[in-house]
Structure 1
Amino acid sequence: MMRYSRPWNGQEISQEQAFRPDDCLISECTSLSEAGAHSVLMSNGSGTQQSYLLQHPYPKRPIEHSPLRSGFFTRPRAGKEKDATPEALEAFQRMNEVVARVQELQEALDEPSKLWSNLQASWDKAEQEDEPRMAEIVRQARDLEKPLKELKQRIRRVLRRQTELTSLDRVQEMDRSSMVWLSRQPGNTIAERAGSSQRIMAVVRKENFDTLENRVLHAYSDLAANVGKEWIREHTRARGSERYRQVENFIKLCISLSRDLRELGIGIATSDVTPNYVLMEDKGYRRVREAWEKLLRREDAKDELWKWQAETWTDFSVLLLVLSIFEMPDTELIAQSPILFNDEAVKGVWYKQDRPIAVFWLKSINRVVEVMARPDRPGTLMYLSRAHVALRVSDPSDPSAYPHRVAVWTPHALRKLDLLGASEGAFRRLYDLQRLPSQTERIKHGLILTPAHGEAQTEDIEQSGLLVHAISLDGSGAPLANGRRAIRAFLTRDIWG
């Protein structure tokens, strides 16, 4: 297995060396059984000649094997932020911002015909420092407010049978224990056995609210209120935003509901309960149970997102590219892949789509451009470039001309990349690929999209008809705004052929 600190590097890391926090954790192998923890970015060849380009996760511990990784800082834990290093806290915040941008795709998908314009509006808001990020508790505050209010008005109760002393004129049912009690009383008739109080043991039915579904409702309202308060503390500068008000009102609703449930004597469910019929079939209680389970899994989900940040960054970069082309003047979206958004990220990947994800017609220069991501069959040159995102550019007026590609690298590391060094390395990679014979492929230019770690920057190299442009950006605020402008500027250059 060959390991690389950067996807365009020709020099591999030796087997004795460990991946470090400033590496991209990329490797290449011919057998997945020896690869360790990984996700497959691309593959090439077939049968015994097949090669795989892999992305490895960031470790949960400072040192981990298979592959060897060392010196990594770990994710900050909820309630233990003071024990985390500033570097880890900043990395965690950047991760949350990028995840929020990708999750906004889910909301935009509510109107598929306006998908990219809706996503553009959401990202425009994210460029403002006082706009809070999307999170699971924000979605629940929006989607569950009405169901919770309805449940508050119809808290489910059951009638439970119990035996107690009951007036003779109110006795409706007796069980075995009641009959035994009655037989032991002195007297010949029932009235004599009832004594001066004229009461006997009988079965009565009484309302009880302490059911499993209500205990789950109680547990959810407490947990949602605490998660909401945590989100509010992180976004104190966003008091005037719609999301902030929505979460604030949801917290008040959860606290009020929790108080009512406590007054009715309802306990709190444990996290390992087995759902009953009501929790699975009643629409309101089912939605509460599903939301509760999502919040319970959030710590495990954060671990997964931390490990696979590089894959989420690719999702973010692909959306960024599509939006940037969508925003170009005199551009028309002519085809769009169906997009399936996952409830939870699978190894950092939030959505599934066919290839290409979008196809545009650039009217002014008469070019068709396709945005390709994680291709199944990338072609030899694209595989050798180690860029698993690309723009495929074709001229519809000349069917005999082969399309060319703009290679897009999305390197992610926990420490900032040297942009100038990155652009020089990627340029050398493209320059070497020009010498390889190919009848159907051409790679003419390259684009690098990498985290800015607080300050967006750009670097480029243009020689011998090749252009490599490196851009660093983040998921919110000025680094997002500056990065989007830099990508739009790159797209206006002579990269279309």
Structure 2
Amino acid sequence: MTLLRGNVRGNDTGTVLFPYPKREEAAGPARKGFPVRPRSGHDPATPDEEEGAEALRHMNEVLARIQELEGAIEDPSDTWGRLRDAWKRAEDVAEPKMAEIVRQARGMLPVLRDLEKRIRRVLRRHRELTPLDRVQEMDRTSMVWLSRQPGRSTAERAGSSQRILATVRRENFDTLENRVLHAYTRLAADVAREWTREHPRAKDSARYKQVEAFRKACRMLSRTLSDLGVMVASAGVQPNYVLMQDRSYREVHEGWLRLLLRRKIEDDLWAWQAETWTDFSVLSIILAIDELEEAELVAQSPILWSGEATGGRWFNQDRPIAVFWLRKTNRIVEVQARPERPGAMLGAAQAHVALRISDPIRADLPRRVAVWTPHAMRRIDLEDAVQGAAQLLDQIQPLAQTEVLRNGLIMTPARGAAAEESAAHGRASATAIAIGPAGEDLSKGFQAVRDFIRSELNEVAT
């Protein structure tokens, strides 16, 4: 995926992103040592599996912060205020995130209890040796069998056991709707277990208790269906009349499809986590600017939310995504995410996010702040990163003609240790912030973003 296209002194440039492999090794280009996504329904048992489970937990937390934008954009007049409140709640790990399994735990538990009392069954015909006094029905095959037995009467042909081959009806629970129910309970129990494993500190919360009770109910019903001989439906089955018309079975089918879609989405997100992380970083910068007392939102790009992630992205927007006016310092601040025309300096810096700060009255050159959003499965060395970024910014200064670009910001996953580092090289400087999507990592990291934004805007004012 091409993140940035530019032109530096007549030469076309670009920044390309490769997806994360689903295995430890991958080719084109060669990559090794990647954490492996944990198997569904299995608890991690080795250090490598623990690392993969932690990577999945981090991915889901970032996803939760992005998905909170869906509810925030319902009120365009206060989108960023509502999103900021949601992120503030995420700083408390005792209040776990909302997720699809949480919604289903709340709405599907009564449905499962209803179906448990009336699991649908059908009467199916079988041929078996039946005592004469219990014979109720015979088909052509049974009649042929009886005619071939020795004897002149039915009693003689029944032999000493007094049994003949007849058609009997037996209860059978292995129907399509019960197979879908069995598949749903198994999948929901696995997803619920993953969710509770990711939130060990939230055991006293109402959401955790709901999900745990739902997981136990799913496991119990799954064992019941297994004992009744019900098979497990495969994905993609065509719903029958019962799945479409019976309310409870229909809700189970719809819930099953949503969880299957979640699995598909996770496959895509695992490969393109870097894109999701970029959106997370952009939103955090917007929230930090919006918090300023002098900041007034004067323009906002329409945000088009997608029901399904594509290439790790849940929403699309025009450019810039947001424009703020700083009343006291009289500055215009644009938040540019994935600009179509980055310019020579931003293209040379290989940064596909930037702040553009200008004065609407004075004729000064606009000033840009490059923002890099490197995503890594393991925590990167902040000190080494800022040294390299500051050196790069200093090296590209001869390209400055129509704008100023001297400062940069690196936003990278904290991986359990929020931190901040800064470095200068010549006339350029860079700051690296390790921020997390929840808990203390989010609280400390977001505070560092606030401090950086304030320092940049104050520098422009002077």
Q: Does the alignment reach a TM-score above 0.5?
A: yes
Aligned pair 1:312/2:276, yes or no? yes
Amino acid at match of 1:243: R
Amino acid at match of 2:231: I
State the identity as a percent: 42
Give the direction of change, closer, same or farther, for the CA distance of 1:430–1:279 in structure 2 (3 Å limit).
farther
Partner of 1:361: 325
Amino acid at match of 1:388: H
Aligned pair 1:97/2:61, yes or no? no
Partner of 2:420: 458
Give the counterpart of 1:339 among 292, 304, 311: 304
Q: Which structure 2 residues correspond to residues 171-190 of structure 1 after superposition, within 5 A? A: none
Q: Which structure 2 residues correspond to residues 140-151 of structure 1 after superposition, within 5 A? A: 140-142=104-106, 144-145=108-109, 148=112, 151=115
Give the direction of change, closer, same or farther, for the CA distance of 1:152–1:239 in structure 2 (3 Å limit).
same
Q: Within 1, Cα distance between the matches of 2:118 and 2:455?
A: 62
Question: Is the partner of 2:45 in helix, strand or coil?
Answer: helix
Q: Which structure 2 residues correspond to residues 219-298 of structure 1 after superposition, within 5 A? A: 219-258=183-222, 261=225, 265=228, 267-271=230-234, 274-278=237-241, 281=244, 283-294=250-261
Contact 2:37–2:52 under 8 Å retained in 1: no
Contact 2:22–2:37 under 8 Å retained in 1: no
Q: Within 2, Cα distance between the matches of 1:442 and 1:147?
A: 61
Aligned pair 1:383/2:347, yes or no? yes
Question: Is the partner of 1:472 in helix, strand or coil?
Answer: strand
Per-residue deviation, 1:405 = 2.2
Give the direction of change, closer, same or farther, for the CA distance of 1:216–1:337 in structure 2 (3 Å limit).
same
Per-residue deviation, 1:487 = 0.6
Q: Within 2, Cα distance between the matches of 1:462 and 1:69?
A: 32
Report how many aligned residue pairs link the two structures: 444
Contact 2:374–2:411 under 8 Å retained in 1: yes
Per-residue deviation, 1:490 = 0.9
Per-residue deviation, 1:457 = 1.9
Aligned pair 1:405/2:368, yes or no? yes
Contact 2:66–2:280 under 8 Å retained in 1: no
**Any gaps of 5 or more consecutive residues in structure 2?**
153-163
Aligned pair 1:481/2:443, yes or no? yes
Give the direction of change, closer, same or farther, for the CA distance of 1:258–1:54 in structure 2 (3 Å limit).
same
Give the counterpart of 2:36 among 75, 84, 100: 75
Q: Within 2, Cα distance between the matches of 1:436 and 1:109?
A: 40
Partner of 1:125: 89
Give the direction of change, closer, same or farther, for the CA distance of 1:52–1:226 in structure 2 (3 Å limit).
same
Question: Is the partner of 1:82 in helix, strand or coil?
Answer: coil
Contact 1:423–1:460 under 8 Å retained in 2: yes
Give the direction of change, closer, same or farther, for the CA distance of 1:366–1:102 in structure 2 (3 Å limit).
farther
Greater per-residue helix proportion: 2
Aligned pair 1:392/2:356, yes or no? yes
Per-residue deviation, 1:465 = 6.3
Aligned pair 1:328/2:323, yes or no? no
Q: Within 2, Cα distance between the matches of 1:102 and 1:296?
A: 13
How does the TM-score come out when normalised to structure 2? 0.77
Give the counterpart of 1:429 among 370, 389, 392: 392
Give the direction of change, closer, same or farther, for the CA distance of 1:363–1:291 in structure 2 (3 Å limit).
same
Give the counterpart of 1:470 among 409, 432, 443: 432
Give the direction of change, closer, same or farther, for the CA distance of 1:364–1:434 in structure 2 (3 Å limit).
same
Give the direction of change, closer, same or farther, for the CA distance of 1:259–1:181 in structure 2 (3 Å limit).
same
Partner of 1:193: none
Give the direction of change, closer, same or farther, for the CA distance of 1:382–1:293 in structure 2 (3 Å limit).
same
Question: Is the partner of 1:274 in helix, strand or coil?
Answer: coil
Partner of 1:438: 401
Give the direction of change, closer, same or farther, for the CA distance of 1:323–1:139 in structure 2 (3 Å limit).
farther
Contact 1:102–1:315 under 8 Å retained in 2: no
How does the TM-score come out when normalised to structure 1? 0.72
Q: Within 2, Cα distance between the matches of 1:473 and 1:101?
A: 11
Contact 2:177–2:243 under 8 Å retained in 1: no
Contact 1:408–1:446 under 8 Å retained in 2: yes
Partner of 1:14: none
Q: CA RMSD in A?
A: 4.3
